[in-house]
Structures are given as C-alpha cells and as structure tokens.
Amino acid sequence: MIKFTVIGGNASQDLAKRLAKKLKAAYIRTELKTFPDGENKITFSSKPKKSKIIVVQSIYPPVDSNLIQCLSIISKAKQFSSNVIAVIPYMGYARQDKEFLLGEVVTIQVIAKLFKAIGATKIIVIDIHSPTGLKYFKISAKNVSAVSELVKYFKKLKLRKPLVVSPDSGGKNRAKEFARLLKTNYITLKKQRNRKTGKVRIVSSNLKEVIGKDLILVDDMINTGGSIIKATEFLKKQKCQRVFVACTHALLVGNAERKIKKSGVSQIVSTNTIPGNTSIVDVSNIVANTLM
C-alpha cells in the first residue's frame, strides 16, 4: 500500500515531484486553467489512492491566487483522505503576524483559520518569516530550516576567509547557525526601518573584521532587495572582498535581482521554495526527512 501521495500545486510542481521521488510516493500533478476574468479552474491529473496526501504549494506572487489554489487543492484532497498534510514552502502573509500599527489586520491569523476550516491536518513551512505566525495555526504546524542545505552549497565554493553577516538583528540566530555549520564567524548589522515609509538605514559603526574577507549576507527572504543593497553598499565601503547573498526565499520583485547585482553582489543563492534564476538549492530532502 502506498504510504504517501504527493499532489503538486501549480506554484510548486518541480519541488513536489522531487519530494515524491524522495518519499517513493505516488505523484499527482494539478492542471490549471485561468479564465479571462481571472478565475482559476484546477483539475487533478488522476484520482488519489487511499493514503496520506501531501499537498505542495508555495504562496508567492500572485499571492492571493496561489493561496486560493492551495486551499482548493487541500479541500479536494480531503475527499480522498482524512489525513492531508499541507507543505507550504513559502508562506505568504507571514510578515503580517501582529498589529504593528493600530487598525492593521493580522492576516496570517486569517489564513491559519482557513487551513483549519478546509481540513488540513498538519502544515509544514520552510523558514517562515516569524515563528510568531505559527501560533495562530490550531493544527499541527512545523517550521523547517533550510540553512543546512544552503551551507552545503557554500562549502563547495572557494571562499577567502568567509564571514557570515546578518543584515539586521532579527536574523542574528539564522546567521549564527549558518556560521556554526560553515565553521566560521558571524556579525550582525544594525539597521533602522521607518514603519510608515519602509526606508532602511544602517547605523553600524566601521567594521574592521570584514576587511579582505568574502562575506555571505544571510536572510530568510528577499523581496525588493532594499535591505540587501543597503548592506552590500555599506560593506563594500569597509573594504571587504566578494559579497554573496544566501536566502531561503528569493521573491526578487520587479528588477530586484538586477539592482542587487549592480550594488556589488557576486551571486545570489536561494532555494527552490520559489522557482527562479537563483533557486539552485533543493529543499525536498529536508521536507522528506520531516515527513518520514
């Protein structure tokens, strides 16, 4: 009897296939048709057999469309299994985990209720922006770190006296773990962000420890790249060598990739939680290990 059936949403077909292979599971793809008015119609390529079903669908732009597709697939999967696990490699709306300004909707709380309402029995996310968001899920929820897989990639590179850098204090623990696995040191930049305008400025003092070293800027996600660009420009002035960027989720909205490269970054390395030019690190293994 098949232990798992993996269903891949349109946003995560490649990752879902890789996961199915790792689990030696049956794989079912979903076919998406978009009507002129923007509505989506989803069709399963085959009927799932009785087993635990794993639905894989990232919620990246177009966020709302991918979210609705994800919920729809889970809802359909529930017709074939009482145990449907949602693997959400990139969880959209995870940054909206508290009421920062009066009157703001805590959207991740709304999404958590939706997953429970449609019958998901468990949710697995990768490097969610803030663990605070997981507390809203009233079903089993697990956050998996992709840091170990990213480090494996950087171990293959010929780096000169590598130093890991967190672009802000919020990512300190991530940078610390990255540095521990890479067997090197890390530093944390101090920055200030205006909550209303979104503008960022670095307030760190001169950093002598970066002189002549290859730096790895580590973050959980890159959206417009503003923080990474500011950090790179600052670090280049401190006379470092090359600057690499390592992140789990590379949204790279608009022309962010070009802007980041222009600021002096040698390479952007991200995982396949979001498909793209920089998505060269596969996370299917860490997800499979979590499920087995």
**pLDDT tens, position by position, 252-262:** 999 999 999 99
Whether the CA torsion 56, 284, 272, 131 is positive or negative: it is positive
Q: Are 128 and 146 in contact (CB under 8 A)?
A: no
Per-residue pLDDT band at 216 (split at 50, 70, 90): very high
Q: What is the pLDDT of residues 83-137, one digit of tens each?
A: 999 999 999 999 999 888 889 999 999 999 999 999 999 999 999 988 889 999 9
CA-closest candidate to residue 248, choices 195, 286, 201:
286
| pLDDT tens digits, 154-213 | 999 989 999 999 998 888 999 999 999 999 999 998 877 666 776 667 766 667 888 899
pLDDT band at 3 (very low <50, low <70, confident <90, very high): confident
Q: Is 286 left (phi over 0), alpha (psi -120 to 50) or beta?
A: alpha
Average pLDDT over residues 15-30: 96
pLDDT of 1 reads 46
Give pLDDT, residue 100.
86
Question: Average pLDDT, stretch 237-250?
Answer: 94
Q: Is 20's pLDDT higher than 80? A: yes
> Of the residues 22, 76, 122, 191, which is catalytic?
191
The full DSSP string for 165-191 is EESSGGGHHHHHHHHHHHTSEEEE--E
The rounded mean pLDDT for the chain is 92
Domains and CATH numbers, the chain: 4-145+283-291 (3.40.50.2020), 147-272 (3.40.50.2020)
At residue 16's C-alpha, the angle toward residues 251 and 83, to 5°, is: 115
Contact present, 135 and 112 (Cβ < 8 Å): no
Q: In degrees rounded to 5, what are phi and psi of residue 176?
A: -60, -45
pLDDT at 195: 66
Percentages helix, strand, coil for the chain (3-state, rounded to 5) are: 35, 25, 40
What percent of the chain lies above the pLDDT cut of 90? 80
Is 98 one of the catalytic residues? no
Q: Which of 45, 113, 90 is nearest to 252 (CA)?
A: 90
Q: Please give the average per-residue pLDDT across 75-87, as a whole number.
A: 96
For residue 277, pLDDT beyond 70 = yes
pLDDT of residue 150 exceeding 70, the answer is yes
Q: What is the mean predicted confidence (pLDDT) over 270-288?
A: 97
Residue reference for tokens 């006379």: 239
102 CB contacts (<8 Å, ≥6 apart)?
Answer: none
Identify whether the C-beta of residue 276 lies closer than 8 Å to the C-beta of residue 270: yes
Higher-confidence residue of 206 and 48: namely 48
Residue 221 pairs in a beta bridge with 249
- What pLDDT sits at residue 271? 98
End-to-end Cα spacing for the chain: 16
What is the C-alpha separation between 237 and 206, in angstroms, rounded?
9
Q: What DSSP line would sit under 135-161, residue for residue? A: GG-SSEEEEE--HHHHHHHHHTS--SS
Q: Measure CA 270 to chain center.
A: 9
